Amino acid sequence: MRGPHNIWRLVRTGATLERTGAMRVLLDAFEAPAPLRVAARVLGWPFKWLGLEGDPSLPPAVRALQALGPAYIKFGQILSTRPDVVGDEMAQELRVLQDKLPPFSISVAKKAIEEELETPVDTLFSDFSEPVAAASIAQVHKAVLADTGETVAVKVLRPEIEKAFRKDIDAFYLAASSIEFLSPSSRRLRPTEVISHFEGVVLGELDLRLEAASASEFHANTTEDAGFQLPQVKWPYSGRGVMTLGWAEGVPLGDNDALDAAGHDREQLSERVLQLFLNHALRDGFFHADMHQGNLKVAANGDIIAYDFGIMGHIDEYTRRVYAEILYGFIRRDYKRVAEVHFEAGYVPADRDVDEFARALRAVGEPIFGMDATRISMGKLLAYLFEVTERFGMETRTELILLQRTMVVVEGVARSLDPNMNIWKVAQPVVEQYIKQSIGPKAALNDLAKTVRVLARFGPRLPTLVEAALIRQGDANEAPARKPRRERLMWLVAGVVLGGLISAAVVVFG
């Protein structure tokens, strides 16, 4: 339940960061300025004794986030993919949050499975292991199906996980509301809406039936993708709190030493993971939105294997075209076009100057090109982008939050494999291919075909619908000497269709 009582949760968060030593470590990782460091110590030190102790054997940041709960662990998982932001050492420490958290007992897991599937575990599986991975939401057991002998992965939700997440999210709502109240300028970023979006994503992850459906759809979309595999859903062994997939055998994508020992080309893997994500986002509009190293493996044949489909992203076709044009503009260094796309999509208020915005974008984009990727500070780049968006009154696009966040995560994964990867060079062929297919003459013809299909479905009813509309406008009272209404309506419909065909011809051949 939201309310002032959540102040306690926020106070305890700061106190826990101070008590575990994570406050100093995180401020160092983000290169926080001196005034912020002083303020953090002054506000955190008096309440230090209220903080959670956590596991003293863990590094400070991991210790604090793990003690604070699942929502904070999710935050740590994102940071673990960004060594360019928090440093290699911190990123390596935070990776234990991806799939190496303390598990719950196997007896609790078996009881949950039996309650969900209404069948004894020993009847379903001829072998059922101790937990092989444990994350913030659920843990995974390796098992063998009794009927077929196939090795599978059985995912089981943590007990009381939904209650724990709601407690954290309620505190986040209070923090967002407080920020909006104390800093009116922050409202353009819609912090409350951002938290609401995060809540919807996370709560969807707590129903494993939805995850199974997402896995099935994702598999259908990507069967032809070279160098990419997905485990298949075992529907008879899945439910709300339990999901069973085929077993994914391979080397963890985050273990560079093991990848090298197995003879895999990390530079090639780096490029492929980024291009796969862009293909799924642009081509399909349906993408894996939690692509950190803990959810990716490399098969013996070099294929990338993705699993854990609790968070999937979806973007409509119009948004995909806008996103592709923005990326393509940056790749071509056409900042004027990037600025125009922002204005056309309504991302920037119409009363702002498009040329001035283009110059601001140039200041963001130009340092990227022709520079060694290891010299680019993504943290400073994001900070400058924030200044630009504030200056031009851009608001947070909640429909793009998951896409933007995943892009950051995937870039981090790719650069952990190859620190010298040029993100724009790798993205260019994928974006160009999408542009050719979705923007231009071919796309116009496809759009027209879709329009004609819709009209065809309503064809038999269209004259009646138009007639009813004209009657409401008083057409029924016109002089009877005019042509019969139905004949006029048929000409009207024909005119609409003919006009559409002429418009399409102008676009294609004009």
Tokens of 354: 């498009």
Measured in whole angstroms, how far is the alpha carbon of residue 508 from the centre of its chain? 35
Instruction: Give catalytic status of residue 170 as yes or no.
Output: no
Strand 304-306 relative to strand 228-229: parallel, antiparallel, unpaired? Answer: parallel
Strand 125-134 relative to strand 151-157: parallel, antiparallel, unpaired? Answer: unpaired
Dist CA 380 CA 84 (whole Å): 10
CA torsion 60-63-65-70 (nearest 10°) is 170
The answer to whether 22 and 75 are in contact (CB under 8 A) is: no
Tokens of 210: 């939805």
What pLDDT score does 436 carry? 79
Q: Is 384 exposed, middle or buried (0-12, 13-18, 19+ CB in 10 A)?
A: middle
Q: Which residue has the tokens 């056309």?
A: 344
Strand 312-314 relative to strand 286-288: parallel, antiparallel, unpaired? Answer: antiparallel
**Is the whole-model pTM more than 0.75?**
no
Dist CA 223 CA 230 (whole Å): 9
Task: Please state, in angstroms and as integers, the Cα–Cα distance from residue 338 to each residue in 329, 347, 358, following that order.
Answer: 5, 11, 7
Neighbouring-strand partners of residue 128: 143
The identity of residue 480, as a single letter, is P
What pLDDT score does 372 carry? 61
Tokens of 473: 């406008």
Dist CA 432 CA 327 (whole Å): 10
The vertex-86 CA angle with 80 and 90, nearest 5°, equals 60
Q: Is 100 helix (H, G, I), strand (E, B) or coil?
A: strand
Dist CA 394 CA 18 (whole Å): 35
Dist CA 43 CA 268 (whole Å): 47
What pLDDT score does 505 carry? 47
Q: Is 102 helix (H, G, I), strand (E, B) or coil?
A: coil
Choosing from 84, 168, 170, 290, which is the catalytic residue? 290
- Output the tens digit of pLDDT for each of the chain's 510 residues: 555 667 777 778 888 888 888 888 877 776 666 765 676 676 667 778 888 888 888 889 889 888 888 878 877 776 676 665 677 778 778 877 766 678 999 999 999 999 999 999 999 999 999 999 888 889 999 999 999 999 999 999 998 888 888 888 888 787 777 767 766 665 665 678 767 766 777 777 788 999 999 999 999 999 999 999 999 999 999 999 999 999 999 999 989 999 999 999 999 999 999 999 999 999 999 999 888 888 899 999 999 999 989 888 888 888 888 888 887 887 788 989 988 988 888 888 888 999 999 998 888 778 766 666 555 554 455 556 656 766 787 766 656 667 777 887 888 888 889 988 877 788 888 888 888 787 766 666 776 777 766 666 666 766 676 667 667 666 555 545 455 555 555 555 555 554 554 444 444 444
What pLDDT score does 134 carry? 85
